[in-house]
Structure 1
Amino acid sequence: MAVRFGLLGDVVATVDDRPVALGHARQQCVLAALLVDVNRAVSVDQLIDRVWGQSPPQRARDTLYSYLYRLRRSLADVPDAAITRRSGGYLMAADEMAVDLHRFRHLRDEARAERSEDDRLALFDQALGLWRGDPFSGLDAFWLDTVRTDLEQEKLTAELERVDAALSLGHHDGVLADLSRLVSGQPLNERLAGQMMLALSGAGRSAEALEHYRRFRNLLVEELGVEPSPHLQQLHRSILAPDVAADPPQTGSPVPRQLPMPSGSFTGRSDDLAQLDAALLTYGETTGTAVAVSGTGGIGKTWLALHWAATHLDRYPDGQLFVNLSGFHPTEPPMTPAGAVRAILDALDVAPNAVPADLDSQIGLYRSLVADRRMLIVLDDARDPDQVRPLLPGSASCAVVVTSRNQMSGLVATEGLRPLPLGCLSRDEALHLLAGRLGRDRLSTEADAAGSIVGACAGLPLALSIVAARAATNPALSLQDLADELADQQHGLDALADRDAVADVRSVIAASYRALSAPAAALFRLLALYAGPDVSLPAVAGLVGLPVQQVREPLDELLGAHLVDLTGPDRYACHDLLRAYAGELLDDSERALATRRLYDHWLHGAHAAALTIEPHRDHIDLPPPAAGTAVASFTDSEQAQLWLDAERLVLLAAIDQAAEFGLDGHAWRLAWAVATYLSRLSRWTDLASAQRAAVTAARRAGDLVGEAHGHRDLGLALHQLGELANGLDHLRRAGELFGRLGDRAGEAYVALYLGWVHEGQGQHREALECDERALVLFGEVGHLVGRAKALNAIGWDHARLGDHHRAADHCRRALALHEEVGNVTGAAKTWDSLGYVHHQRGDSDKACVCYRRALELYEQSDDRWGVAETLTRLGDVLHDAGDVEAARSNWLRALRQLNEDNPVEIAELRHRLDSAGSP
């Protein structure tokens, strides 16, 4: 008996072509969620998320278990297929080739590897013949929608490759019907346009081929403001005058070969290379065609990427792109996404006059040009996900390698990149590296000394390379001399023997440090104390307690000695290992005083920035800054916003590290200061991390005020991240603490947050009770800003409950109060609420007016979260009014405001866009 599972259409199971009863749609979702990862365990939480998304039933686990039980019974007599329980989840054990999705991918990959065009075409036909309709037809779940979109892209890619094979065999007439269907769904796809022109021309219909080019060019110019690529223009010319054309007709852009030369002395990393093979040699899967290689500076990330690429060039016949993003470059600022995209368009031979003016259109053009091409894209030395995300291609046929000192967890979570952290080299690998640089004869002659060097460098490629360079450029210097020099470094031998990460620091920079002047040496030691990726010039001045002008000279000296890097205008960074070495040289007295000045600089600057971007926040008390502290001040919200943007990663790191220096009060106050800023950016993960540290620090210090604020903001962040029960616990704890403190305004804000949580769960009456309690508490203490917020929240609650008259009344009262006190963000939220009320009443025109007013105010405050919410709702109004194109435009704008911390909102927007179809 042969079992078959079908996902590429209706979800079905058959045994010898006899159908197996799979139950209702939700139960079929469970089976689909297991079959997509056949033979791999799927956790219970993952299954619940895949089946119900963010709206699981009350007893989701019990319901899931009942579905699994019924499916097991249905499959009880099915040979070679069973749902089995594994640690933490469930697994569908079956032959992968029995699942049409996996068989499709297998046949497609076989076709790509096949050299015979006849066999290639036959394999593509077999693969595409498995499709019976839309994947998971009839099933509705956010996760399935996402997978469905990816699968449809995979199918399109396979169809285009099949057309290439058919055209190469001269089957011009035979592909025209398929091409017409594909072109109607992808009118701006340049590869399709070229294929259609080739097919028509080859079928003897050159006039129609030229007309197709004309229509495509007009559409491209109208929609994107660009001309067709030079190669499509060449194809057009070859059809116009085939005897004159210098080149044969072809589609696509020129083949870039941008990879730098790989290191000739690459060694080891067999496990890491195997992981790259597993991740990248599988075109078109929903995940796994991109890898984030991470590790400390000098660990060999670029080295590994280039070596792997050099050994797999045949897998990427359409070219290789290499972009040095300079995220941690010693002398250059990080490359902007705009600069990177422009460099890629240059590499793809896009004429300067054909490059669109705005970044979004440039990104769209780049993705169109590489769509469905088998290319390798190496994005080297990335600073953060925001720098990388615009450079990710939209096609799963491209493989991407990102290297970074950061883990890129955001890209791993939202874009499906596979993480590949690098560790140190083994002893044998390190010896091979030295042998490659110095020759085996020299190593074998001084084998003991070579072993000592390897031990002192702790397996770090950068340290080994620096020592090898010294030995190679100074032949009179024996390896034993180098080993002795390393052994003489104070504070180093024990750590080196333990393979501590500071090992190479002692070996490479000790001599440079000893040559520094006293002021530069003192500054170098203090640079061990800063948090985050870099440090500003005012913060450096605060470290040493001197005016800014007096620290420039020692900084220049450190720059010249390569002991500090310039990361941007007046921003500096030390390699992590250099900072570790510097930290060992600090004595306790200079550490304590400099740390206090540095944290005072961050705290007072962040507090001032927080109150500048949101002047209506309730204040907290700050300790006075230490003498010599450089305190930032701001003249307007834009200046404060720029400061926060520049210091975001620094401040987050400072919150985490404050405990090391006994600065618990600074930790929770810094977390308070960044709360509004992070909320507006919808960086809920960062907000939750900061507030966890704040709660721990305040509790350790016995500071109830700090603990109350930390619990409140942590509850908000956890709610936004979907941890509802945990978030409620923190909010209730915050309410208790504010009550003990007699802080009625604090209690009121907690009540508002609780109302928000209940509203998010669809518990509108509970939300109304919380918001009405907040209004009473704010009224008791005469808190006008709070009363306005509570009135707006109550108005929203009434709108959700269908009482539009009361909703409008409360919102108008809220708006009057917000305008009276000059609260811009509060007014924005209230205009948004009024827009919702009018939409529910069926008055689209008034709803649009309100939403557009809310947008103006949100954009004025640089509140990206608010902008995204309002754009989404404005799109809903326009869609209901029949203006689909305008609705899609607003939804796309909303999508661009969100980040990896908003998976639900992103999924909902993509669902809206997919449901609306093309404008």
Structure 2
Amino acid sequence: MELRLLGALELVAGGHSVDLGPAKQRILIASLAVEAGHLVPTETLIDRLWDDAPPREPRKVLHTYVARSRRVLEQARYLDDGRIALDRRADGYRLTMDLDHIDLHRFRRLVEQARATHRRRPERAALLGEAVGLWRASPLDGMAGGWAARVREGLRQQRLGAVADWAEAELELGRSAPVIERLEELIVHHPLAESLVARLMQALSLAGRAAEALEVYARACRRIEDELGAQPGPELRSLHLAILRGETVRVADGATGPDPVALPARGPGRQPGDTGVAERPRPAQLPAEVPAFAGRAGCLQRLDDLLGSGDRLRVRVAVIAGVAGVGKTALAMRWAHRVRHRFGDGQLYVNLRGFDPGGSRMGAAEALTGFLDALGVPPDRVPADVGGQAALYRSLLAERRMLVVLDNAGDDEQVRPLLPGAPGSLVVVTSRSQLSGLVAAEGAHPLRLDPLSGAESRELLIHRLGAARAAAEPHAVDEIAARCAGLPLALVIVAARAATHPEFPLSALAGELCDARNRLDALAGRDPATDPRAVFSWSYRALSPAAARLFRLLGVLTGPDLAAPAAASLAGAAVPEVRPLLAELAGAHLVAEHQPGRYALHDLLRAYAAELVHAVDPEPDRRQASRRLLDHLLHTACAATLLLAPRQRPIALPPAAPGVSAEVIGGAGQALAWFTAERPALLAAVQEAAAQGLDEEVRHLAWALSAFLRWRGLLLDWAGVEQAALDASRRLADPRGQAHAHRHLGRAFTLLARFDRAHTHATQALGLAVGLADEPGQAHAHHELTWALSRQGRYADALGHAEQALALFRAAGHRAGHAKALNGVGYCHALLGQHDRALVYCRQALALFRELGDLNGQAASLDGLGYAHHHLGQYDLAVRCHRQALGLYLTLGDRIGEVEALIRLGNAQHVGGDHGLAGVTWRQALVLLDELAHPDAGQVRAQLADPALSRDPAALYWPHR
């Protein structure tokens, strides 16, 4: 029976390879085999199997693996008479087996026996040759996990040391040929192993191939300089000089051990887990890379840039920060493995457990002690105080070039004692916090890790699922990628479920993720390290009570993001009180400041916050928070719309809920910016208010949004909001409110070129106004019908409704309506070819709009005047009027009016002979039409291609204000 570790883990019994079971079980057997004959504590085994992310009941799961491993070993005993047993002793386990039947332990015995043999004895070379020959491949080949990676690297160094000893023993006997053959192959994979380079140079020199020895030295120099930025060590330099002088190279001139690591003593003095301690070790503590990695090319490049930053005055530090599960450690390991060859003195790694759910955050003393041990400091030389440990650590790194990875840091103070003091080394820190103190004081380079893009998410899924399975259901892959919102943790969980259930269609897994309320359930698992709830909870528990409450309340948020004033109203607090809480949440990456002053949650964090707020906060508190946020949006929107449209008649609002602070907006420009930023939240508020039966609030929000949505050309949004207002008015049995909503729906559908629906709504508005004997309401309805009919080419019918609107507005003393109707009558005369009469009406409208200070009405009247001048052949006057109208629309932020003015201005320029300028103006209009997804973009595009195709723009664009 033989247990093999120097390659892939394998148990051979009776000439057959025994199946050792799943991955975790194999790690258990390997862990016990590395320390065969010694008790390995249960906690140590748990750490090795699951690193720092054990399952909920790790001892119970470990016991299951132990029981299964015993059955495997019993099966091996049936195949072979060899003795092997797995025993429980105190709080740990021990594997008992003849150590010579475990290749690792036989390797160690042979090396120790050879070193105890006198130099220049054939037995020494034979023992070392047998030891080196036991290696089949990389030790524990293919085994995942941090423990396996650490053991693998430590044993690799022991192998290099044994090979160097073997080569020396062979050369002492005058046998250079086997040394040259083996070392030339090995150095390809270990070009920085200076002891092997030295033995090869000696072998070549002794074989009379001095020129080749010098070439080996030259290649080594270039590699060491390029990758380490250093010079070769004294042994290589001495050998080089001796060969240049033609001196006889004596083997005794070379070192007899490995470069940085010596083999351990075997026997009772060795502690469990000891894989070798040396005077000047070269640590290689990096955990293994994740098996599938996607995207992050830009982040990897930014890290690469640090290598060539040229900063020789301070230690280079990179801080990778991001939300839990976004892949910070995966990125750090990916990059660290890519560049580890450039750090010839080794790599240090520690998981600082900054957000450990059990509160076992690693202190500086524990981390420093671990590093000092890895650097070969005997326990009795480690200072007792943290300051002394840090000073010794910095001294050891002062003349070295090392890569230090500080994973899962909680804050700046946890990191600072672990930073080297002299340049040359590079530190990578990962944290859920921003660690802005390191950036400010230590000059660290911040790298915020955002969720993966859609393409990167699909790439990761394809890596995990396999190309064939992903190609069979591409739409399901896209759906999974979208629902996981770019969070690698979530993507990997879904892929793992798919892998363990190959019979499940991917569409079924995607369907489980569609319900946002149950999405975390669909991603839950037994392992806290990969359960989003558990992972998020580690960051949540670290928050101050006030920040934790604010995070929970974000679970009632209906819009995609919010600003600090809205967050203050949500929490019922003042803005100065809330800003530091938002900064705390952003620092913990529980929210992201994706735009200056605006904060958003990842979809899965939003779901987690919603669960928390329902579990922790009473229903009245949740309801009050929702109401405060709604009132904040409503009261601010109503004030802002009066700045955009000062002629709009204000509405009476009930007082805002206690704790609400509506935002103070300074002017029309700020109002437009506020609406633009809050539009998604406002639209979501309309839907939420309707769902809660808050019909008055729905109508108030529609009133507040109307001008902004119309002017910005957000026509489908406008129609949706007005439909919600119409439904609310119907539930309230309010015919006046219904008429108002019908009029606005008529206007929206006219702009959308859905004329049948526009005519239906305008007609219903007119009928309701007649029933109410509401003359201004009737006039407004006639005005909407004028517009809709003119767009359909029914100019005479349109003029009839325009004249009725004018008469009704004049009789009601409605001056703003009177001005609007004058412009409508004038424009209808222009459509009918009666341009002189059009000028009379449009001039009267312009004068009245100017008296009223209505900029929007002035722009519409100027557009009408420009159209009439155009068709009277007065092109210069037409261009002047359209330019004035365009300026007003730009001032107001009215994109629909801007498009109308640009089209007419281009037409006037074209017929006036300025064809080049006309093309530029039309292209400006086309850009806006495309942005608005306007149905008339095709006509303008055709006109640009061939101006002769241009049709009368009056049928397309009508100054409707």
Q: TM-score, normalised by structure 1?
A: 0.47
Q: TM-score, normalised by structure 2?
A: 0.45
Q: Give the number of the structure whose alpha-carbon radius of gyration is greater.
A: 2
